Every structure is written in structure tokens, then in C-alpha cells.
Amino acid sequence: MTFYAGIAILTELFMLAMSIHVIRYSGISKKQKAWFLLTFLTVMFCTAAEFAVHGAAYDLKYRNVLTVVTVLQFSAAPLLGLLFSGALGLPKQRTFAIVFFCLNLLVETVAAPSGRVFFFDHQGYHRGEYFIIYGAFYFFSLLYLVFSMIRVGKRFRHRDVGTIAMILVVLAAGIIPMTVFKINITYMAIAFGASLSYIYYNDLIQQDIQAELVANQEKMSAMQEHIISGLANLIESRDLETGEHVSRTSGYVKALSEFARSDGVYTEQLNDHFISLIYRAAPLHDVGKIVVPDHILKKPGKLTEEEFEQMKRHASEGGRVVREVLGGVTDDEYLSFASDVAACHHERWDGGGYPGGLAGEEIPLSARVMAIADVFDALIAERCYKKAMPPEKAFGIIREEMGTKFDPNLAGVFLEHGSEFVGMYPQKTGGEGKRA
């Protein structure tokens, strides 16, 4: 009897702990919370009722009270499967549960005086000849719960063999104690099965929520990249380019960053995250050209000093455009990174660049990488105002401007791997010339 009392107390505490968890848990709706609470509280009531009948000191004079308690227990216990089905989120369970409970209560109340389902005598509680009536209601509820778990499981993308395991646990918890042990651990087993099912159900919810967040993030990233690519190509098309400059320079900055890291240059900064950011930011380096008039942008000849000053505005305006257009669309880190690339890729290592006259490592590393890629592509690609320059001559210009225009460390890496850059995007070569 001490063992039985321990089992009953443990079950009550277990269900109380689960009820507290449900109340404090924010991952399910208020309606589902109510169903889960009702399920766990019903287990607590049935556990207490069974202990009162089987575990306490029996006295025949309390037979009528114990009969009422047992009628309520036998009416509530088969309801557990329906209650948990409601907790799983199935619709229209409230009416079904009320009708099923009333039917159980009616049958048990009618059968109680005759002792056909159960009865009490001087020795205590006994099952009646028609105890199977209670068993039928109970097993119907259990099978309904299994059906509900299968039905609900179809809604989840991450259901797996664990769903089948949970169904087997529920069946074992409901059938084995009732048929083999008769009493003592029945509701403890039910409580265990219900709790595991609750935990597994919420795990499925969390997995689907996580998967949905990842999917939404991927969609958002794809949308951002589409916006960025479209904006960059729009600007390049005004410059009589086809978007190839965007693609080439993106590839150059990625390769230059990777080569520099492998050669031991700026290894602490040139991590995978940096390389990913600069690759995604590179297409926006000339976005500021949107403010440059067409007659300057598409001029086939050399720009006048006044026109060149107009062209130089694209750097400072580029940083502003990035922040205004992409602010709120992308994360702050990328926004800052892309803005630096757009605003500072015409700064010079010796401080003679624009728009801010930054020098040395005052210039963001991303912009220093971008500067080399942008100039190299501008030199070897054919433009409306010039023919393509042979790569060897372009390398010579970059070599001459190491430590003045370009970061000498990065320029050294670029020249060391010159053949790889030429091989990435073979160009027709011919004339020469460059523009800001």
C-alpha cells in the first residue's frame, strides 16, 4: 500500500508540474492550453479517485460515497483520449467531448445500483460482469486518440519515426496497465504517455516553426539579392553595360579576398563572413551613378574637369542611396558594408582619393578590395569611351600604383595571382583608358 501511495503522489506531482508548464508555455494557443490543462487535471482527479477506492483504508459504510466517486472516475477516464485530441488542435472536439462524457455518466449512473460494471462489498471494490462496458468506452477513446495523432501528424513537415513511437507509447500506457496490472500504475502510465505526447507534439511545433523561419529567411535573402542585382544592373545599363561588370567585379572581390587570406594577408578580417558580405555588396559599388546625368555617363570622349567633378559625386551619393533604398530591407551589418563599398571604393591609399580623402587603413578593407577589382575590370573591359586594355598593361598600372592608389598588401596579392584573375573572365583586349 505504501508503494501504491507513492505512485499516486508521484502521478499527482507529475501532472501538477506539467500543468504549470502548460500555463507558462507561450508556444501554443490559449485554447490548446485549456485542453492540455483539462487533460492533466482529469488524470489528477482519476488518480485521486482510484487511490480513494483502492489505496485508502476501506470501510463498507462509505460504499455509497465510493460508488459516486467511481462513477465519476469511470465517466472521466474514457474522456482522456478526446481531451487530448482537443489539445492536439483538432476542431469541434468540445461538443464531442461533452456528449461522450454525458453518455459515459448516464451509462455508469444507470449501471451503478445493479453492480453490473462494478460493486462494493465487505471486502472492497470488484469489477462487475459487464465491466467490459467501461473498457469499451475507454478503448474507444484510446483508439480515437491514436487516430487523432495520425491525423495531426500529417500537418507537420518534420514528422518521423518518433510519431509512430509516440503512438505505441500511448497504446502501451493505456492498455497494458489496465489489462495486466488492473490498478496501481494505470494512471501513472497514462500520465507518462500523455506527457511524452505533449512534449513530442510541441517539439514538432518548434521544428516546423524553425523550418518556417529558415524558409522565410531564405526567401527574404533571395528577395534582397534580387533587389540588389536588379538595382545594380539598372545602373550598369545606363552606363551602356550589360551587367557583366557587376558579375565580374563580384567574382574578383571574392577571389581577391580568398587569395589574400590564403597568402596570410589580413587573415583576421578576411573570414568567410567577410567574403560573403563583400561578394553580396560588390554589385552596389557604382549605384551612385544613378545621380550622374546621361550625357556625362555615356559620353564617348574624355570628360571635362567639371564633368569629372559631377562623375565623382557617384561615390558619396552611392553610400546615401544604399542606406535610403535598402534601409529596413536588409540587416544593418550588410547595409553598413555595402555603404562603405559604394562610398569609399575611390579613396586612395595615399589619401588623394574621394569623397572623404581617407588614407591607409582609414579606408574600409572592403572598399580597398573593391578598388582593385573595379579598376582592373575598367581597364581590361571595353567601354563606350575606350577599347579594352591588355591584362598585362593593366597589371603594370596596378603595380605602379601600389602604395599610392591601392593598398600595397592587397595589390601584391592581386598581381601574384594575376593569371587566375585573367582566367576567370577572358576579355578582348586592345586600347586603353579608364574613367572614375
Q: Which pLDDT score, from 0 to 100, does residue 269 have?
A: 95
The pLDDT-based confidence of 165 (bands split at 50, 70, 90) is low
DSSP assigned state of 159: -
Over range 12-41, report the average pLDDT: 86
pLDDT at 434 over 60: no
Three-point CA angle 291, 295, 297, nearest 5°: 55
Asked if 370 contacts 282 with a C-beta cutoff of 8 angstroms, the reply is yes
Asked if 282 contacts 253 with a C-beta cutoff of 8 angstroms, the reply is yes
For the chain, the structural domain boundaries read 2-212, 239-424
The pLDDT-based confidence of 348 (bands split at 50, 70, 90) is very high
DSSP assigned state of 361: G
CA nearest to 158, candidates 121, 203, 108, 92: 203
CA–CA distance, 76 with 97 (Å, rounded to integer):
10
Most distant CA pair in the chain, distance: 116
Query: Which of 9-13, 49-53, 128-132, 326-330 holds the top average pLDDT?
Result: 128-132
Over range 401-414, report the average pLDDT: 97
The pLDDT-based confidence of 270 (bands split at 50, 70, 90) is very high
The CA distances from residue 99 to 79, 94, 102, 147, in Å, are 10, 9, 5, 19
pLDDT at 180 over 80: no
Asked if 55 contacts 46 with a C-beta cutoff of 8 angstroms, the reply is no
**Equal fold, 2-212 vs 239-424:** no
The pLDDT tens digits of the residues spanning 82-110 come to 888 888 777 788 898 999 999 999 999 99
CA–CA distance, 269 with 274 (Å, rounded to integer):
7
Domain 2-212 has CATH 1.20.1070.10: yes
pLDDT at 300 over 90: no
212 vs 63, more confident: 63
Fold of 239-424: Hypothetical protein af1432 (1.10.3210)
How does the average pLDDT of the chain come out, rounded? Answer: 82
The CA distances from residue 268 to 262, 264, 275, in Å, are 11, 9, 12
Residues in Cβ contact with 312 at an 8 Å cutoff, skipping those fewer than 6 apart:
346, 354, 355, 436
Q: Which pLDDT score, from 0 to 100, does residue 51 have?
A: 84
Q: Cis (ω within 30 of 0) for the bond into 355? A: yes
Task: Pull the grid cell for residue 62.
Answer: 462509505
The pLDDT-based confidence of 161 (bands split at 50, 70, 90) is very low
Q: Which pLDDT score, from 0 to 100, does residue 242 have?
A: 44
CA–CA distance, 382 with 380 (Å, rounded to integer):
7
pLDDT at 185 over 70: no
Radius of gyration over alpha carbons of the chain, in Å? 38
Q: Which pLDDT score, from 0 to 100, does residue 238 have?
A: 61
pLDDT at 376 over 70: yes
pLDDT at 218 over 60: yes
CA–CA distance, 2 with 8 (Å, rounded to integer):
10
The pLDDT tens digits of the residues spanning 186-209 come to 666 677 666 766 766 666 666 666
The pLDDT-based confidence of 157 (bands split at 50, 70, 90) is low
Percent of the chain past pLDDT 90, that is, above it, reads: 39
Residue 388 gets the label, from left (phi > 0), alpha (psi -120 to 50) or beta, of beta
Q: Which pLDDT score, from 0 to 100, does residue 92 have?
A: 80
pLDDT at 433 over 50: no
Over range 12-34, report the average pLDDT: 85
124 vs 413, more confident: 413
Three-point CA angle 267, 268, 272, nearest 5°: 80
Strand 124-127 versus strand 118-121 pairing type: antiparallel
Q: Which pLDDT score, from 0 to 100, does residue 431 have?
A: 44
The pLDDT-based confidence of 114 (bands split at 50, 70, 90) is very high
pLDDT at 324 over 90: no
CA nearest to 239, candidates 295, 285, 194: 295
pTM of the predicted protein model = 0.54
The pLDDT-based confidence of 216 (bands split at 50, 70, 90) is confident
